[in-house]
Amino acid sequence: MELKNERYEASGIDLLEVANEFGLPVYIYDGNKILDQYNRLLNAFKPVNIKIKYACKALNNSAILKLLKNAGSGLDTVSINEVKLGLRAGFNPDDIIFTPNCVSIEEIQEAVKLGVHINIDNISILEQFGSLYGNSVPCCIRINPHILAGGNSKISTGHIDSKFGISVYQLRHVLRVVKSSNILVTGLHMHTGSDILDAGVFLQGAEILFDAAKDFPDLKFIDFGSGFKVAYKEGDITTDIEELASSIAQSFLDFCKDYGRDLELWFEPGKYLVSESGYFLVKVNVLKQTTATVFVGVDSGMNHLIRPMLYDSYHSIVNLSNPNGKQRIYTVVGYICETDTFGWDRRINEVHEGDVLCFKNAGAYGFTMSSNYNARFRPAEVLIYNGKAQLIRKRETFDDLVQNEVDVQW
């Protein structure tokens, strides 16, 4: 997003004009930014045989899925319905990996029927999978390396108390299960969490996977998950993708040489690909001044963007309607009957009722985590691509809210 002629634009499209055309609140995604991030990651790891599997839980609108599929991406899914969304968007089953957590064996079986890669993250399911399929259906195994990544336990998934993955200390047990059921393991996987800055964290996990790989002779790929940090505010330190790639690529090539053949290196970025592409636009309903605070109340809340309340996440807030106004201190809150504060004591260009505010970095875990709490409608979604803004999801209506209710006759 950049300011040109006193108007904020994304890829040359005026954001206020998008708001006027499609209404508020609205999620807007810049397709060019998504592709830039995808290509940057792809190019950084040359000459390694890298495969990117977009983590669609971050943003699963079919238009976004098709955009990335056409760029050559695969898909990382965590539910059977995400698998179906991927297939509906045109992904080949072989390009989809299914990495659920705490699901039933029946959901695993449904994914097997759909022909996608199965990633197993607990011994109980591994045993059941082996009994059902033996070596007739390959699988990947998710290892928990017991590495605390990112510094925030809410977004770290590889530490010792995490529910994700099979503990690295249980590998001997895993090997016994694999041998006894003749399971064909073609991939090893880890995901330590989000907001990783240090290449050393990846390398530490890589060494654990490389060591484990010695006991799995049929591997085709090693999957490092993701967790690359993006900037949420000015001055944020982010993951240096090129530096990370130079460290990991050589380590991976050395591993392949020792292993005896070249494998594929997989990554599953979600937030890295779509976060910075997203803008969430809302209208100022009311200014409310108390003895200590000036509140800006907007026509949205935690029902549309829950990350600030759930993760204490930071989203920069820009007044699109008054780009050159004097900066004042505001606390921006929502219209939900809960404490749904988007940002405390923020410096924002002077705000008036009716102004349009923009939350930046709203492309990841915004709409996908939205809800109908307080019987509110979920917003529209718009994609900016090929020089135009196009509606990719309609705003909900009251009929959408009640369509699955059953009329009970008393």
Asked whether residue 265 falls in the same domain as residue 125, the answer is yes
Asked whether residue 270 falls in the same domain as residue 305, the answer is no
Domain boundary among 228, 254, 274: 274
Q: Which of 214, 206, 219 is nearest to 247 (CA)?
A: 206
Tens digit of each residue's pLDDT (9 = 90 or more) over 262-299: 999 999 999 999 999 999 999 999 999 999 999 999 99
Asked whether residue 330 falls in the same domain as residue 384, the answer is yes
Alpha carbon distance 397, 386 (integer Å): 29
Q: How many domains does the chain have?
A: 2
pTM over 0.75: yes
357 vs 191: which has the higher pLDDT: 357
Domain boundary among 255, 274, 293: 274
Residue tagged active-site, from 140, 256, 337, 358: 337
Q: Do residues 268 and 54 make contact, with C-beta atoms less than 8 angstroms apart?
A: yes
Alpha carbon 116 to chain centroid distance? 20
Say if 408 falls within a structural domain: no
Tens digit of each residue's pLDDT (9 = 90 or more) over 246-261: 888 888 999 999 999 9
Alpha carbon distance 194, 324 (integer Å): 35
Q: Which of 190, 245, 182, 244 is nearest to 212 (CA)?
A: 190
Identify whether 337 is a catalytic site residue: yes
Which three-class secondary structure state does DSSP give residue 219? coil
Tokens of 306: 């829950």
pLDDT of residue 82: 98
What interhelical angle do 123-133 and 171-181 show, nearest 10? 10
Q: What is the H or E stretch that residue 173 is in?
A: helix 171-181
Say if 343 falls within a structural domain: yes
Q: Which of 315, 289, 293, 290 is nearest to 302 (CA)?
A: 315
Q: What is the H or E stretch that residue 333 is in?
A: strand 327-333
Asked whether residue 330 falls in the same domain as residue 383, the answer is yes
Say if 407 falls within a structural domain: no
**What is the average per-residue pLDDT within 1-28?**
96
Residue 158: pLDDT band with limits 50, 70, 90: very low
Asked whether residue 358 falls in the same domain as residue 235, the answer is no
Tens digit of each residue's pLDDT (9 = 90 or more) over 387-404: 999 999 999 999 999 999
Least confident of 90-104, 202-216, 389-403: 202-216
Alpha carbon distance 112, 121 (integer Å): 15
Contact residues for 148 (Cβ-Cβ < 8 A; gap 6+): 156, 158, 159, 192, 193
Q: Is a pLDDT exceeding 50 seen at residue 153?
A: no
Mean pLDDT of the chain: 92
Asked whether residue 65 falls in the same domain as residue 153, the answer is yes
Please give the residue range of the domain that contains residue 35: 31-274
Tokens of 180: 């006894």
Percent of the chain past pLDDT 70, that is, above it, reads 94
CATH of the domain at 381: 2.40.37.10
Say if 108 falls within a structural domain: yes
The DSSP string of 358-401 is EEES-SSSSGGG---GGGPPP-EEEEEETTEEEEEEPPP-HHHH
Asked whether residue 306 falls in the same domain as residue 362, the answer is yes
Tokens of 263: 């494998």
